[in-house]
Structure 1
Amino acid sequence: MEFNWNIETMSPKQYKIADYIQKNTHRVLLSTEQEIAEAVKVSIASVSRFWRIVGFKNLKDFKVHLSSQLEVSPAGKFKNVMRKVEDQELQHHTLSLSINHLYKTIEELSENSFQQTIELLSNANKVYIHCPGPSIGLGELMTYRMARFGIDIRLINKGGSELFESIMHLRDDDVFVLFGFIRLLPEAKVLLDYSKEIGTKTILITDQLVSDFTREADVVLFASRGEMRDFHSMIAPTYLIENLIIALGMKAKEDNVKRLNTLGMLRKRYSTDLPR
Structure 2
Amino acid sequence: MELEFPVMPACLTKAEEKIMDYIFGHTGHFLFASIGQLSEQLGISDATISRFARHVGCKDFKELKAVVMEQSTIGEPAIKMAGTLNKEKNFCVESWIMQQQICLKHTMEQLDSVEFQRAAEEIVTARRIFIHGKNASGSMAQLLFYRLRRLGIQVSLLPAGGTEIIEGLVHADNNDLVVMFSFSKISNEGRLILDYQKSAGYHTLAFTSRLYVPKEQMANVNLYVYRGEEKEYHSMSAPAAIVDALTLVVSEKIGAKSVDKLREIHVLKRQYTNI
> What TM-score comes out, normalization by structure 1 length?
0.65
Which SS does the other structure have where 2:144 is aligned?
helix
Aligned partner letter, 2:262: L
Aligned partner letter, 1:251: K
Kindly state the Cα deviation for residue 176 of structure 1 after the two structures are TM-superposed: 0.4
1:207 has 2:209 as partner: yes
- How big is the alpha-carbon RMSD for the aligned residues of Structure 1 and Structure 2? 2.1
Indicate if the aligned counterparts of 1:175 and 1:200 stay in contact, CA closer than 8 A.
Answer: yes
- Deviations 1:225-271, CA, capped at 9 Å, x for gaps: 11211110110000010101111111122111111111111111222
Percent identical residues: 29
Distance 1:126 1:136 in 2: 19
Residue equivalent to 1:31: none
Distance 2:193 2:90 in 1: 45
What are structure 2's unaligned runs of at least 5 residues? 1-69, 71-87
Distance 2:166 2:101 in 1: 40
Does the C-alpha gap of structure 1 residues 90 and 241 become closer, same or farther in structure 2, counting only changes over 3 Å?
same
Aligned pair count reads 190
Residue equivalent to 1:255: 257
Aligned partner letter, 1:112: V
Structure possessing the higher radius of gyration over alpha carbons: 2
- Deviations 1:114-142, CA, capped at 9 Å, x for gaps: 11111110111110011011011111111
Which SS does the other structure have where 1:205 is aligned?
strand
- Which of residues 194, 198, 219 in structure 2 aligns to 1:196? 198
- Which of residues 182, 189, 206 in structure 2 aligns to 1:187? 189
Indicate if the aligned counterparts of 1:223 and 1:236 stay in contact, CA closer than 8 A.
Answer: yes
Does the C-alpha gap of structure 1 residues 170 and 253 become closer, same or farther in structure 2, counting only changes over 3 Å?
same
Kindly state the Cα deviation for residue 91 of structure 1 after the two structures are TM-superposed: 1.2
- Which of residues 221, 224, 234 in structure 2 aligns to 1:222? 224
Kindly state the Cα deviation for residue 158 of structure 1 after the two structures are TM-superposed: 3.8
- Which of residues 81, 84, 92 in structure 2 aligns to 1:90? 92
Residue equivalent to 2:32: none
Distance 1:214 1:204 in 2: 13
Does the C-alpha gap of structure 1 residues 249 and 236 become closer, same or farther in structure 2, counting only changes over 3 Å?
same
Indicate if the aligned counterparts of 1:204 and 1:214 stay in contact, CA closer than 8 A.
Answer: no
Which SS does the other structure have where 1:133 is aligned?
coil
What are structure 1's unaligned runs of at least 5 residues? 1-40, 42-85
Equivalent runs, 1:96-245 vs 2, <5 Å? 96-212=98-214, 216-245=218-247
- Deviations 1:196-239, CA, capped at 9 Å, x for gaps: 33221100101111132675310000010112111101100000
Which SS does the other structure have where 1:160 is aligned?
coil
Which SS does the other structure have where 2:223 is aligned?
strand
Indicate if the aligned counterparts of 1:180 and 1:205 stay in contact, CA closer than 8 A.
Answer: yes
Distance 1:110 1:214 in 2: 20
Indicate if the aligned counterparts of 1:201 and 1:218 stay in contact, CA closer than 8 A.
Answer: yes
Indicate if the aligned counterparts of 2:186 and 2:217 stay in contact, CA closer than 8 A.
Answer: no
Indicate if the aligned counterparts of 1:170 and 1:200 stay in contact, CA closer than 8 A.
Answer: yes
Distance 1:158 1:101 in 2: 26
Which SS does the other structure have where 1:211 is aligned?
coil
Indicate if the aligned counterparts of 2:148 and 2:247 stay in contact, CA closer than 8 A.
Answer: yes
Does the C-alpha gap of structure 1 residues 100 and 213 become closer, same or farther in structure 2, counting only changes over 3 Å?
farther
Kindly state the Cα deviation for residue 181 of structure 1 after the two structures are TM-superposed: 1.6
Aligned partner letter, 2:233: F
Aligned partner letter, 2:144: M
Distance 1:158 1:238 in 2: 19
Residue equivalent to 2:20: none
Kindly state the Cα deviation for residue 157 of structure 1 after the two structures are TM-superposed: 2.3
- Deviations 1:149-191, CA, capped at 9 Å, x for gaps: 1111110124222222111111101000011121111111011
Moved more, 193-202 or 177-186: 193-202
Indicate if the aligned counterparts of 1:122 and 1:248 stay in contact, CA closer than 8 A.
Answer: yes
Kindly state the Cα deviation for residue 89 of structure 1 after the two structures are TM-superposed: 6.4
Indicate if the aligned counterparts of 2:182 and 2:206 stay in contact, CA closer than 8 A.
Answer: yes
Kindly state the Cα deviation for residue 103 of structure 1 after the two structures are TM-superposed: 0.2
Indicate if the aligned counterparts of 1:184 and 1:213 stay in contact, CA closer than 8 A.
Answer: no
Aligned partner letter, 2:165: L
